[in-house]
A = this chain, B = another copy of it.
Amino acid sequence: MVSTQVRRVSAQGLRSPKKAHLGSTAFNAKLFLDSTGLGRTVGRYAARETIFAQGDPAKSVIYIQEGGVKLSVVNEVGKEAVVAILRPGDFFGEACLAGQPVCMGTATAITPTTVLVIEKSEMIRVLHGEHEFSDRFIAYMLERNIRVEEDLVDQLFNSSEKRLARTLLLLARYGLPGHTQKILPNVSQETLAEMIGTTRSRVNFFMNKFRKLGFIDYDGQIRVNDSLLSVVLHD
């Protein structure tokens, strides 16, 4: 009995997608948001372009239509921590809804990205007016929360080696199925280090180790083999 619990936990964050009970998160929020109207604008960003910066006034929720976005926070000594990598269908900047006056982090496009910028007041209006949208948004927030809690637990428990393995697998999930899966090429070892809270040299060390063991392969693009799971699962 204990062992089944254990198995469940050690695979945390690696479960297959499950259906949400307040509605699937894969719905198209665009339907509710992009009919022409006040308080909604489209933004386009090139790779590496900043969507908003830490300290900017927080006044809009942003919905990703296409591309990818990195959410990060910068330290007093310039060290960067990556809080999340987001993709189409994800929201960010939603903290302003809770009254957060300024952005606590920086959002950067990692590939060419199209977003919908929804002003706070408009977002609240839609949340109030559209039941279905409100449900989906709650479901989305709940899942984000679960994901961040898993990341936190991962940090509390695991060595940087395991954290790297888990992060790679998580990123690989976005790739197409197959035995060796593609992972977005725009993740540098530096960024990986910032995601798992260690140094680039450590990431480099483990990446080479994983490669030697045949768990991953890379040459600009990183390919993750399912066997990498053994690193996460092992004692």
User: Which residues on A are within 8 Å of B, measured CB to CB?
Assistant: 1, 4-6, 8-10, 12, 18-22, 54-55, 73-77, 79, 81-83, 94-102, 104, 120, 124, 127-128, 131, 134-135, 137-139, 141-146, 148-153, 155-157, 194-197, 235
Contact = CB atoms under 8 A, between A and B. Distances in A.
Given A98-B146, A127-B138, A146-B104, A157 B81 contact: yes
B156 A197 contact: yes
A20 to B, nearest CB: 5
Q: How many copies does the complex hold?
A: 2
Contacts of A157: 73, 75, 79, 81, 197
A12 B103 CA distance: 12
A60 to B, nearest CB: 13
Nearest to A21: B99
A153 B73 contact: yes
Contact of A5 (B4, B8, B55, B127): B55
Given A101-B18, A142-B94, A156-B155, A83 B131 contact: no
A153 B105 CA distance: 10
A124 B156 contact: no
Given A76-B235, A81-B157, 17 more contacts: A5-B54, A9-B54, A9-B74, A9-B104, A12-B73, A21-B98, A22-B98, A73-B157, A77-B235, A83-B153, A97-B139, A97-B142, A98-B146, A104-B149, A104-B150, A145-B148, A156-B194
